[in-house]
Amino acid sequence: MMELLRKLQIFADEGAEGGADGAGASAAEDQEGTQGDQSGSGEGEPGQEPEKKYTDKDLDRIIAKKIAAERKRMTKLFNDDQQESDLDKRERDVLRRELRADAKERLASEGLPVALADLINYSDKEESEKSLDEVTATFRAAVAQGVKDALKGNAPRVSTGGRATESDLIRSAFARNAR
């Protein structure tokens, strides 16, 4: 049993030494390879310029310039967009006022209340015309229905064309009193 443990220990020691040597060699090769690349001694591909090296200070300065330029560009874009939106808003307001004035004029010429202009959609000229037509049609239909309801009454009674008898007169008198 002791001998088995000793063999395991020897085996583990050999693996660790071999692994350490192998790992150390590859790490050393990696360092040597990167140092060779950084030396810029011209070894490498012909016609290739040596790689430029920047300090942290240089990188900070370059990044700060880029950020400032981008900030300036975004500010200019924002101001341009804001100016365009102000112009668009003014144009929409002028168009809305013109369409409203046209609608009021049309309503007045057709003999309709000018207050109906408040119900019209003034988003653009086509929508305004469509909305004005719908409002006038609805208003006219409502007025016609109101007139019809106001004139509606009891239908006239059909007379028999002859003289009313006493019994008819008495019945009608009681009918009136019963109501």
Other beta carbons within 10 angstroms of residue 95's beta carbon come to 15
Convert the pLDDT of each residue in 103-143 to its tens digit: 999 999 999 999 999 999 988 889 999 999 999 999 999 99
For residue 38, give the nearest of 52, 48, 59 by alpha carbon.
52
Mean pLDDT score of the chain, rounded to an integer? 76
Task: Give the C-alpha separation, 99 to 106, whole Å.
Answer: 10
Q: Residue 37: inside a domain, yes or no?
A: no
pTM of the model: 0.41
> Residues of 97-129 as b/e, b for ≥16 C-beta within 10 angstroms?
eebeebbbebbeeeebeeebbeebebeeeeebb
Q: Residue 42: inside a domain, yes or no?
A: no
Q: Residue 58: inside a domain, yes or no?
A: yes
Q: Residue 166: inside a domain, yes or no?
A: no
Please say whether the beta carbons of 120 and 128 come within 8 A.
yes
Per-residue model confidence (pLDDT) at position 21: 47
Token pair 């981008």 is found at 70
Convert the pLDDT of each residue in 15-33 to its tens digit: 555 444 444 444 444 444 4
Q: Residue 30: inside a domain, yes or no?
A: no
* Domain ranges, residue 88: 54-148
Q: Residue 136: inside a domain, yes or no?
A: yes
Task: Give the C-alpha separation, 12 to 129, whole Å.
Answer: 94
Which residue did the predictor score with more confidence, 76 or 177? 76
Long-range contacts of 127-134 (CB under 8 A, 24+ apart): 128/99, 128/102, 128/103, 132/103, 132/106, 132/107
Amino acid sitting at position 122: Y
What is the number of structural domains in the chain?
Answer: 1
Q: Residue 33: inside a domain, yes or no?
A: no
Q: Residue 86: inside a domain, yes or no?
A: yes
Per-residue model confidence (pLDDT) at position 70: 93
